[in-house]
Amino acid sequence: MAGVHGWSLAAVSTELMADAQKKPWLAVPIADCGEPLVPLPSYLPRVLPHPYVCLGAPYPESCGPWHLRLAVVLHLLRARSILKVTHPHWDLQVFDAWRPIAVQTFMVNHTIQAEWDRSSKAQQADPSWRYQIEQQVLHLWATPSQDPRTPPPHSTGAAVDLTLIDSTGQPIPMGSAIDELGPQSHPDHYARAPQHGAVHNNRRLLRHVMVAAGFVPHPWEWWHFSYGDQLWAWETGHVEAHYGTVMLPSLTLAS
């Protein structure tokens, strides 16, 4: 996808790419266990149609977004069961699951372009504005690295973005949209805002059920959880991550 005035992710400065990679968990080595991607169970709620597919994201024909590593799916179903104990009429709703590097690249470029389009002419005239947009986007979106030592989390099949819904399928208020740029996406953004106590409690509930099922939360995104990737290994004290970038078709089970 072409970027602003013809620039794309390839044009992002080396310095910025290095800054965006300053995440301690990326130093954790990976020993991929070879576990396959499997489709999410059909009864597990998800956002339809898939938002990135609607934008034209280049998923391979052989494997769409609704896949995760086998153990990750099992842990996700465990989280759902934990939620049902205290909130039997609520459910988890998956927003995104497996995301190949080509889709990560597409979405980074799309988000940079969208932020540029929302900018004022005065902002666009500022030579540093492009850098500021890139920095903000790459703080939220993982760099679509081709380096097998630093894979984007979703490319490993270990990360899932999700929210809560009620018995009618309506989203539970969480205080911001998934993928929204800005401080409101931080998991504890509303912790000291009594007027948003319900939103904060909803985020805490989602985090509780996911952590209880073995996932770790992303430090900057209330919707993102992972099991078996580098962030998970770093947070839980494992010396190696279980999952690297999924290489199709060898790590895919038939749907």
CATH code, domain with 191? 3.30.1380.10
The pLDDT-based confidence of 194 (bands split at 50, 70, 90) is: confident
pLDDT digits (tens, 9 = 90+) for 15-39: 345 544 578 999 999 999 999 999 9
- pLDDT band at 159; cut points 50, 70, 90: very high
Quick check: 232 and 241 in contact, CB under 8 A?
yes
Report yes or no on 182 lying in a domain: yes
Dist CA 227 CA 217 (whole Å): 9
For residue 96, pLDDT over 90 is answered with: yes
pLDDT of residue 139: 86
Report yes or no on 121 lying in a domain: yes
Which residue spans within the chain are E strands per DSSP? Answer: 37-39, 67-69, 91-96, 159-165, 216-217, 224-226
Q: How many domains does the chain have?
A: 1
Q: Of 121, 35, 41, give the one whose Cα is nearest residue 81.
A: 41
Percent of the chain with pLDDT over 70: 89
The two tokens of residue 208 are: 């509780």
Is 62 among the domain residues? yes
Do the domain assignments include residue 102?
A: yes
Is 221 assigned a catalytic role? yes
Write out the residue range of the structural domain in which residue 21 sits.
4-236
Any residues with CB less than 8 A from the CB of 6 and at least 6 apart, and which? none
The values of phi and psi at residue 24, to 5°, are -60, -30
Measured CA to CA, the distance from residue 20 to residue 197 in angstroms comes to 32
Domain-located, residue 30: yes
**pLDDT tens per residue, range 215-245:** 999 999 999 999 999 999 999 999 999 999 9
Per-residue pLDDT, 251: 65
- 93 falls within a domain: yes
Which of 35, 221, 235, 240 is catalytic? The answer is 221
* 250: helix, strand or coil: coil
Contacts of 138 (CB under 8 A, 6+ apart): 12, 16, 17, 19, 20, 108
pLDDT single digits (tens) 161-175: 999 999 999 999 999
Spatial separation of the C-alpha atoms in residues 255 and 246, rounded to whole Å: 16
Q: Please indicate, yes or no, if residue 204 is contained in any of the structural domains.
A: yes
Asked if residue 82 is part of any domain, the answer here is: yes
